[in-house]
Amino acid sequence: QVQLVESGGGLVQAGGSLRLSCAASGTIFSISVMGWYRQSPGKERERVATISRGGTTNVADSVKGRFFISRDNAKNMVYLQMNSLKPEDTAVYYCRALDLKDYWGQGTQVTVSS
């Protein structure tokens, strides 16, 4: 089993920045893809950004140029640097990791005030 723990969420004013972190622990075989997803009330969970073990990234158009994903394979960590935050970025942000199975974290709340 793999456990994912997110951190770094919080309340920020529009235009501000936050950096989310996700730490994977447990019995890790070889995590291929790690990513960040988000879900706001009344909406479906959506992909924000993913990154392969080799560093290939895929970022949603809605956050492209503002959000940047990175990972540290040695530490089994993935990060999401969020800049120029907007109120519509308010959501619970979830970390996801694909190892032998598909794992999700519990989520961290990000609230952007206008």
Residue (of 104, 84, 103, 100) closest to 29 by Cα position: 100
Chain segment 19-70, per-residue pLDDT in tens: 999 999 988 878 889 999 999 999 999 999 999 999 999 999 999 999 999 9
Average of pLDDT values for 95-112? 96
- Give me the phi and psi of 34, to 5 degrees please: -125, 150
- CA 101 to chain CA centroid, nearest Å: 18
Residue 101 pLDDT grade (very low, low, confident, very high; cuts 50, 70, 90) = very high
pLDDT of residue 30: 86
pLDDT of residue 28: 81
Chain segment 2-12, per-residue pLDDT in tens: 999 999 999 99
Q: How many other CB atoms sit within 10 Å of the CB of residue 74?
A: 6
Would strands 57-59 and 18-26 be described as parallel, antiparallel, or unpaired?
A: unpaired
pLDDT of residue 27: 85
